[in-house]
Amino acid sequence: MGIVLSRPARLIGGVALLIAPLVWFTGLLLRYLVPYAAGFGDARLAWFDRQTFAFPKELAAYAADPGFVVAAFAVFALAALLLMPAVNALGRPIASRSGWVAWFAVLGVAMMMFSFAARFYRAGVDHTAFMLVRAQGLDAATNTIAQHYVDISYGPWNLATLAHFLQYPGALLLGLAAWNTGILGTARVLLWFYTWTIWGGVLKESEVADLVGAGTLCVVLIPLGVRFLRDRVPVAGSRSSWLSW
């Protein structure tokens, strides 16, 4: 039993729910592998780890292996785009309800959309920084980024950071709405919350915790994608029990 959605809505939503978390995981994995693909030795990696920000490592990795680094950051940016229809599909059955639950779902989806837009803005900044390495050389580009890192990371009027911060209340509202309507059980909504503890910024590296979070997103969204494609879109019903999947 499910709500009635048009075939295009089910197809786009289902494919996004299936593909987006996998691309998200792949992008984070590739970014995690960037310093290893660049062939940095232990001494150089230790020096990078002592720096306040990750951008010297990322720029140096681009200088060493531009193809791999561009692919890693491009896949991650693609994931941010694909997550827009995926998150919208998650909120769609809940928004069919009335009352505060629907408001939570709609506001949560909107806030997360803004955060994905911020990630795409920062993807543009990342690529510009890599082009500086190509145009100016590694040392000059690194110095330029170091002088303006805060400004380019926060964006004009700090809009990029503010939009990105909306990820946290957005994920909270949407998760609570999904749990309150039985779309997600307690275990899956906790995994959903963990996924969105990930932060972002310009020229950031991925960590093991980010990969774990991406894996939990796959667990949460992929089964929903299968249900969408099988025309079994979940119905927003009663609240999940405390001990539920």
Per-residue pLDDT of the chain (245 residues; tens, 9 = 90+): 445 677 888 899 999 999 999 999 999 999 999 999 999 999 999 999 999 999 999 999 999 999 999 999 999 999 999 999 999 999 998 987 768 999 999 999 999 999 999 999 999 999 999 999 999 999 999 999 999 999 998 989 999 999 999 999 999 999 999 999 999 999 999 999 999 999 889 999 999 999 999 999 999 999 999 999 998 877 766 677 777 88
* Separation of CA 82 from chain center: 9
* Separation of CA 35 from chain center: 21
CB of 174 within 8 A of CB of 90? Answer: yes
Assign 204 to helix, strand or coil.
coil
Residue of 108, 120, 27, 21 lying closest to 71 (CA atoms): 27
Please report the pLDDT score of residue 4 as a whole number.
60
DSSP line for 93-159: HHHTS-SHHHHHHHHHHHHHHHHHHHHHHHHHHHHHHHHHHHHH-HHHHHHHHHHHHHHHHH-GGGH
Please calculate the CA angle 125-128-129 and round it to the nearest 5 degrees: 90
Name the burial class of residue 143, with classes exposed (0-12), middle (13-18) and buried (19+) by CB atoms within 10 angstroms of its CB.
exposed
How many other CB atoms are found less than 10 A from the CB of residue 61? 28
* Structure-token pair, residue 178: 């999904």
Please report the pLDDT score of residue 127 as a whole number.
97
Residue of 71, 36, 202, 191 lying closest to 124 (CA atoms): 202
